[in-house]
A and B are shown apart, each in its own frame.
Chain A
Amino acid sequence: MKKMLHILATTLLVVPMLASAHGPTRQAVQEKITINASPDKVWAMVKDFGGLHNWHPAVASTDLKDEKTRVLTLAADGNPTITEELIKSDDDKMMVNYKITDMSVVKTITFNSKDTPYYTLPVSTYKAWLTVKAAGTGSEVIWKAKFYRSFMDNPPTPEGQSDEDAVNAITGVFTSGLQNLKTIMEK
């Protein structure tokens, strides 16, 4: 018994150091902004699935492939793209829900002797929700996303591909977008 306990104790100490394959954990980002414009007016802008370039400063163009699929081309070097699919658009709740289905590969590096791609955004299995709510005499816009980092193996993660990097990238996309939406709607 003593021997068994000793083996057990040793195993408990050693095993955590051996990295075993497991998936990363799901991350979430939520950003809000209040806009001095009516919810109807803001919702009309936000619900237009083919019109993200009209208010998001990072998006150069939106190519609506069909009513549920858009390809965003970003205003950045190499014109990286993001393909998104509309999951649902709810006029009653003033909520649009969509997901990323594809992204262009910006570059590929070798990390831990494996080819490791860098996508337009360092995320995977990404879903987002954009909701407009009445707030006082104006509106509140809530932009929320749930996703995993793009790098699926255990840490260490390649530069720019940690959970924190993924959260920071999406936070940046949301805050810049919401800020510009506010500017346009309050003009």
Chain B
Amino acid sequence: MAVVIKRSKAVLFKIAFFIVSLTLLSACSDTPHSYAIITNQLSNNVTVIDTVSQNVVKTVDAGNRPAGIAVAKNGDLGFISNSEGQDMSILNTKNWQITAQIKLGGGPVGIATNSTGSLVYVADWFQHKISVINTKNNSVETTIAVGKSPAGLIVNDQKHQIYVANRDDNTVMIVDTNTHDVLHTLHVGTAPFGLALSPDGNTLYSVNVRSSTVSVIDIAQAKVTNTIDVGAWPYCAVVSPDGKSLYVTNQDDNTISVVNTSNHAITATIDVGDSPEGIDITADGQFVYVVNWSDGSVSIIDTKTNLVVKTIKAGKGSRSFGRFISG
């Protein structure tokens, strides 16, 4: 009897092991789901695009004038800044529910999060500060005074730093995420707006709207090492996962400048929709997503050919300022 029980226990264990293995296998063999979340500032919602099928899978009502977006690399959270609503929405990227709306005040636009989504940083355009939000209890933990009209924000998890572009001061600040001290203030081009970080966390790029340039910043040296001429009225940028290419949106040329990050040469200029603003790249580096404000559309660029392979209709005033592709 005891033997029988032991055997059946062993069988059960084997079955359980088999099931677990199967689940693990299927989880691994499944194409990982990744979504591009497009904030539509003038239609007060977000468009969700499955980056595998390249189709719209969902439209979710957001707050009042959603502009900025930050997705956590690991985890299922997206954070949306609502510029008129003066708050931040938390979007669950598994069930597409808005799970919380956190009041911030002022003019929240630029937004960034750490890789787990436990902390969110929101730049306040009007009050010249960054709010630090702890998503464990959804409260504003502290605020950090920065330069005039802070716009682009980016978190460097490796270095425990955040970077902020102060549009009306023509500076970029390096801030320590532990002490919240401003470590360095660097002068860049005129009206820096978007920021991009190299995957190794060593190089920062500030996109300078009014001088139509990109400043290259060596983070370790805390120094601007180069300035690259791009197209007219650039807005934002993203670096490819291999670190070799920088893609910049040029609002007034309706183009993307592709920059070789080793010699800073423009290797291609790609026509996209009207007034390209937000830009991000898939984790495999295969596709760049460009969000066109005037068209309310998204241009998908194949990075092998540097051609637009698909244009997707989004909402009115589509912007997606920040990191908007999950996974």
Contacts and interface: CB of A to CB of B under 8 A. Distances in A.
Interface of A: 8, 12-13, 15-16, 20-23, 28, 30, 87, 97, 127, 144, 146
A21 B140 contact: no
B184 interface: no
Contact of A22 (B103, B125, B294): B125
Given A127-B252, A146-B252, A20 B128 contact: yes
A170 to B, nearest CB: 15
Given A22-B125, A23-B168, A16 B86 contact: yes
Interface of B: 86, 103-107, 125-128, 140, 148-149, 167-168, 232-233, 251-252, 275, 294
A16 B149 contact: no
Q: Please report whether the interface of chain A is mostly helix, strand, loop or mixed according to DSSP.
A: mixed
A23 B252 CA distance: 19
5 contacts: A16-B86, A16-B106, A22-B149, A97-B252, A146-B251
Given A12-B103, A15-B106, A127-B252, A20 B294 contact: no
Contacts of A8: 140
A13 to B, nearest CB: 8
B252 A22 contact: no
A22 B148 contact: yes
Contacts of A15: 105-106, 127
Given A8-B140, A28-B294, A22 B105 contact: no
Contacts, number: 40
Contacts of A23: 149, 167-168
A144 B295 CA distance: 12
A164 B104 CA distance: 27
A98 to B, nearest CB: 12
B126 A22 contact: yes
Nearest to A125: B210
Given A16-B86, A22-B125, A22-B126, A30 B105 contact: no
Given A20-B127, A22-B125, 4 more contacts: A12-B103, A12-B140, A22-B126, A127-B233
Contacts of A30: 294
Residue of B103, B127, B167 most packed against chain A (CB within 10 A): B127
Contacts of B252: 97, 127, 146
A12 B148 contact: no
B209 to A, nearest CB: 10
CB-CB nearest 5 A-B residue pairs: A12-B105, A16-B105, A22-B149, A22-B126, A15-B127
Given A12-B103, A16-B105, A127-B252, A22 B168 contact: yes
A146 B104 CA distance: 30
Contacts of B232: 87
Contacts of A146: 233, 251-252, 275
A144 B315 CA distance: 20
A22 B127 CA distance: 9
Contacts of A12: 103-105, 140
Contacts of B107: 22
A127 B233 CA distance: 11
A23 B125 CA distance: 10
Nearest to B127: A15
Contacts of B148: 21-22
